[in-house]
Amino acid sequence: MALSLHYLKRVLYSCSCSQPAPLTDLYFCRHCKVARCQDCVSITVDTYFCPHCFETVPVSEAKNRKNRCNHCFQCPRCSSTLTTRSIIVPSEVLAEQSPKKTESPSSKSPSLARSPGGTKSYYLSCTHCKWSTRDVGIKDKRSPIDFKDPLSPHQERVSQLVSFYKEFSMRDQAEREKAKKVGRRGRSYGGLLDTSKFVKGASSDSPKQLRRASLQGTWNKSVVNKVATQSTDCPDQIPDGFYSGEPELKKIATLQQRLLDPAHQPARVEQFTPRPLHLIGKKLLRCKGCDHILLKAEINPSSIRFKIQQIALHTFPQIRILKPPSLVAGAPCEVLLSVSNPVNHVVSISFQQLEPSFTKGGKVSLAPVSLPKGSYQLSPNDDMGDLLDDSEEELEGEKEFIHSRLLGKLVLKFNVAPEEGTTGEVKFGFVLSFDYKSTMELEKQESSCIVPAPVVVDLGKLTHSDD
Amino acid sequence: MSTRRLAFSHHDKGSIVIEIGRMYTKVGLSGEPAPRHVIRSRVEMKPYGALQDVWDPKYLHREELYLILSRFLQNIYLKYLMVPSKDYRVLVVEPLLSPSHFRNTLARALFNHFSVPHVAFMPSPLLGTFSLGRQTALVVDIGWLETTVIPLYEGVPIMSAWQSTSCAAKTVHNTVMECLIETGAITDTHTQEQNPAGTLGLKELIQGSLEDIIVSTCAVRSMDCDRTPPEVSFPLSQQYTLCLPGPARDACAEGLFEEGEGDLSLPSAVLESLLKCPCDCRRDLSENVLVLGGIASLPGLNYRLKQELERLAGDKNERFSAKLGALQFKFHQPPAHPSTAAWLGGSIFGTSEVAVLERAVSKEKFREMNQRLPDWTSCDPEQHEQLRPVPTRKLLPAAPSSLYKSTTKTQSAH
């Protein structure tokens, strides 16, 4: 695998959307029998979980919590995860601090308050930058989940505007519909059948009534003016402190710290509040052609395994450059490529020339190549293979082009003739066809089909002969 | 009847509101007072790994933009919003004049790659007024590369009075940078060696934290101020500290108020725009000025703009005094940070399903239109017709209601 990482950009397979990609980035759809790259699969978030406490959060709850964890918090200063610290407050101190609370019987945790050792209280602190909730004057809480993201200062105003515009658009629509009706039939008598006005006890102040009134009655300008903000004659001036003394930069938030909390955008360190940690998701990949699942992770957040994993690396014979060839312009050069079998049964492969349409109208110039003729068989890639006796099973393949044969691997000779005047990298391409045996349980009888995989190999620059 | 049907037939999930700015992208769900995330408009392009600017002029008119935008949106959907793209309509907050190839490609990415049901494109100045709850405002949108001034009267943009100037956030950055190169000094805390800020290598260091320098230390000087702020030492890295001279700190926005070569200054663009408006709406507009954009959060900017506007309008030597001399200038404070005010407008607008769907293009329609969005400047009559279908006089067949009746009858018979 190390080799394949090394040659990541050297051997590029072509996706069904004709985008070149390394084999490690491709998926293989068993149903469409084509390779799919990152851009031709649809990706959705499958399960949500907190990256710190590993709690799996159901979809509906994640939506309600705005994709944030209830228990874990992020440092507003350095954005690392905060740790919860607990201290035991002796009950006498607690009684002194808040005499009213302990007197009232309806205090939140009476059992805790009465316990002989005192009660636990919690604060959050950052192990990385030493920021803590005590720095900004947030009181210690009785429970670690009592730390809540404070509401936006404009929340009320915004919800007022939202309801105003919702009504506005509804009224707009109703009016238009009315106009349409009038234009069509002359007049509508629908209003006469409306019995809601006779319902007993419906006060005229209920929002439904109000809406009805506003929908039917006149939408006078005063309603609009009530909602509208008033402009000010004197906009804010520079604060006084600006000219008088050097600002303490340590107390001013950086832009990154401000943008971490878009609702408040704290300008100063004193305004920092702990941010609930953002959830992360496990992804679910589907083929865009047939909607079958290509990749599905296990639900358990601490597991890194997959339930379904259809990656091209498990199906496609993998091609590697065995050693860097010496390339001379105008002369045929021998290039050794190894083809390895990923599956534990015999796979037969063959090579064809790339169609000229593949080079995108001459955008990618490929060197002419003579490919190994005929079809070859790859021995199964079996972990136990080397323990068995060397079976003298004859595998198909012309001896002329075979350099060597290993377990589950075949090294083949290609003849590439780089053209004169090639300045960039020497590339050559071919179509690797292999027979794919479907091993799906649903398909009872084993079916096999030939899957073509266009491959472009980048051999690097021409070798300069110094003699 | 229709309102009732809309209210009960299904639960509206709201819309996703996206504003892809030159520097920062704001994303969130409608109805919320602030975007969920404000992120840089950049995306990592595999397998090359380099960060790619979404608005890179190199790719702005090329086919590769599709890939860049779909990767960028994928990041937003999977990492930040974490919602299924098929379930939510999208409201894109865009500048008044956004490049048509960018719009088309964005729509293509949203429809084809993410199967979004409806996409609506709305200009940011118009949405800015939604955050105020009023229909009339003179919107000054200070972007990164250009500032646009557009008067909106009773919800209608007066396009003939549109003005734009290159005095924008970049001007502020350039002014501060020039000021620092001339007068700033960088101290090496290890060797106590002092170098001018213009030294090669150190310049890039300043460029990297220029945004932070402006945000945390700068303000806009008022016209009648004769004081100089004290100098500040700003830590650039572990090793270097920048000594920021006092005058640079309050002169950062001077570039906005100076006439450039063939270019208007910010106040004259505002007045020019007012001059082009019908005379009976000038007062309403000048008393409702709304300044949008991240730069508007610089302390004292609105105050200085007001002073400059009054000076220019009252100046007998300038061409504005005859018509605009009597005007008063009043400013609005949107209920959000100025950089997210346009987004907030989109968030408020996005909650109303009827209003968004009326202005949106559906996936099917987009396919019918050969994957090209209609532009308000487009002269193709065919496209216009497709966007706004002519209301047909044909009456709907009465099938649904009669069908309903027959089924209830059979039910009662049983």
> Does pLDDT of B399 surpass 60?
no
How crowded is the C-beta side of B109, counted as CA atoms within 13 Å? 23
Find the residue in B nearest to A254 (Cα): B212
Cβ–Cβ under 8 Å, residues B330 and B93: no
In a domain, A186, yes or no: no
Q: Would you call B397 helix, strand, or coil by DSSP?
A: coil
The answer to whether the Cβ–Cβ distance between A228 and B74 falls below 8 Å is: no
Domain-embedded: residue A419: yes
Residue B323, Cα to own-chain centre: how many angstroms? 31
Condensed to tens digits (0 to 9), the pLDDT of residues B186-195 reads 888 888 888 8
Q: What is the pLDDT of residue A388?
A: 58
Q: How many CB pairs under 8 A join A and B?
A: 189
Mutate to test the interface with A, among B29, B216, B287 (most CBs of A within 10 A): B216
Contacts of A271 in chain B (CB under 8 A): none
B64 touches chain A (CB under 8 A): no
Q: Do B212 and A255 touch (CB under 8 A)?
A: yes
pLDDT over 50 (residue B2): no
Decide if pLDDT at B285 tops 90.
yes
Tell me the shortest Cα–Cα distance from B152 to chain A, in angstroms. Answer: 15
B67: nearest CB among A39, A160, A252: A39
The residues, any chain, with a CB within 8 Å of residue B108's CB and separated by 6 or more, are: B66, B371
For A389, the domain range is: 2-26+316-458
Cβ of B335 within 8 Å of Cβ of A190? The answer is no
- At B107 the pLDDT is 94
- Predicted pLDDT of residue B194: 84
| Whether B288 and A253 lie within 8 Å, measured CB to CB | no
- Between CA B375 and CA A215 the distance in angstroms is 33
A283 belongs to a structural domain: no
Q: In the prediction, which pLDDT does B171 show?
A: 92
CA A125 – CA A74 distance, rounded (Å):
10
Q: Report chain B residues whose CB lies below 8 A from the CB of A263.
A: 33-34
Q: Which helix H or strand E contains A403, and what residues bound it?
A: strand A402-406
CA distance B39 to A83: 26
Residue A326 maps to a domain: yes
Residue B235 bridge partners (DSSP): B241
CATH numeric code, B2-129+340-387: 3.30.420.40
Per-residue model confidence (pLDDT) at position B32: 92
pLDDT at B289: 94
* Closest CB to B134 among A154, A229, A259: A229
Neighboring chain A residues of B131 at a CB cutoff of 8 Å? 161
How do the pLDDT tens digits run along chain A, 467 residues long? 444 454 567 888 988 888 888 888 899 998 888 899 888 899 999 999 999 999 999 999 999 889 999 889 999 999 899 999 888 887 666 555 554 444 444 444 444 445 556 788 899 999 999 899 988 888 888 887 788 888 888 999 999 899 888 888 888 888 888 887 766 555 555 555 555 555 544 444 445 544 554 444 445 566 666 778 888 888 888 887 888 888 888 889 999 999 999 998 998 889 999 999 999 999 999 998 888 999 999 989 888 899 998 888 888 999 988 888 888 888 888 899 999 988 888 888 999 988 877 666 556 678 888 888 888 888 887 766 666 555 555 666 677 888 888 888 889 989 888 887 777 788 888 999 998 887 665 555 567 788 889 998 888 888 765 44
Q: Which residues of chain A does B38 touch, with a Cβ-Cβ cutoff of 8 Å?
A: 259, 262
CB-closest option in B36, B216, B225 to A66: B36
Range B388-410 average pLDDT: 34
Which residues does chain B have within 8 Å of residue A174's beta carbon, measured at their own beta carbons? 2-3
Minimal Cβ distance to B133: which of A161, A234, A280: A161
Return the CATH class of domain B132-167+264-333. alpha beta
CB of A9 within 8 A of CB of A22? yes
Amino acid A195: pLDDT? 55
Average the pLDDT over each of A264-273, B5-14, B276-285, B380-389 and give the range with the smallest value: B380-389
A447, part of any domain? yes
pLDDT tens by residue, B94-151:
988 888 899 999 999 999 999 999 999 999 999 999 999 888 999 999 999 999 999 9
User: Encoding tokens for residue B286?
Assistant: 């000048």
How many domains are there within chain A? 1
3-state secondary structure of A366: coil
Which of B255, B267, B337 minimizes the C-alpha distance to B306? B267
Would residue A40 count as lying in a domain?
no
Give the 3-state secondary structure of residue A122.
strand
CA distance B125 to chain A (A): 16
Beta-strand pair B89-94/B15-20: parallel
| Model ipTM value | 0.83
Angstroms from B329 CA to nearest CA on chain A: 7
pLDDT number for residue B3: 46
Interface check A276 vs B, CB under 8 A:
no
Residue A355 lies in a domain: yes
What pLDDT does residue A97 have? Answer: 57
A123 lies in a domain? no
A250, A251, A255, A291, best to mutate vs chain B, most B CBs in 10 Å: A255
Chain A residues 21-60 within an 8 A CB cutoff of chain B: 21-22, 25, 38-39, 42-45, 48
Q: Is residue A274 packed enough to be buried (19+ CB in 10 Å), middle (13-18) or exposed (0-12)?
A: buried
Q: Boundaries of CATH 3.30.420.40 in chain B? A: 2-129+340-387, 132-167+264-333
Per-residue pLDDT tens digits for B233-273: 888 888 888 888 888 888 888 989 988 777 889 999 999 99
Set of chain B residues whose Cβ sits within 8 Å of the Cβ of A37 = none
pLDDT at B150: 93
